[in-house]
Amino acid sequence: MVVLFYLVIVFGTILYLDFSTNHGEKIEVPNLVGLNGEDAKQKIEDLGLEYQIVDSIYDPKAPEGTVVEQLVEPTSLSKVFVKSGRVIGLRLTKRSQMIEMPGLVNKQIQFAESILEQRGLRFIIQYRPTNEANGSVLDQLYKGKRVKEGDRIPMGAVITLIVGQNDLGEPIELMNFVGMTMDEAKYVLDTLGASSYNFVCPDCITHEDSVVARIFSQTPEFIEGNTVFKSTQFTFSMKIGFDSEIELPE
140 shares a domain with 49: no
User: Residue 250 has what pLDDT?
Assistant: 46
CA distance 202 to 239: 7
Which residues are paired to 116 by β-bridges?
Answer: none
Q: Is residue 188 part of a domain?
A: yes
User: Residue 168 has what pLDDT?
Assistant: 63
135 shares a domain with 199: yes
How does pLDDT run across 2-39, given as a tens digit for each residue?
A: 777 777 776 666 665 555 555 557 899 999 999 999 99
**Residue 193 pLDDT greater than 90, yes or no:** no
**β strands within the chain, DSSP E:** 50-58, 67-70, 87-94, 98-100, 122-129, 137-142, 145-146, 152-154, 158-165, 171-173, 197-200, 214-219, 227-229, 234-239
Domain end marker among 46, 66, 94: 94
List the domain range (segments joined by +) for residue 123.
99-239
CA distance 73 to 144: 45
CATH of the domain at 190: 3.30.10.20
DSSP 163-203: EEES----EEEPP--TT-BHHHHHHHHHHHT---EEEE-TT
Residue 97 pLDDT grade (very low, low, confident, very high; cuts 50, 70, 90):
confident
212 shares a domain with 120: yes
If we measure between CA atoms, which residue out of 205, 201, 202, 224 comes closest to residue 214?
201
Overall average pLDDT of the 124-141 stretch:
82
Please count the structural domains in the chain.
2
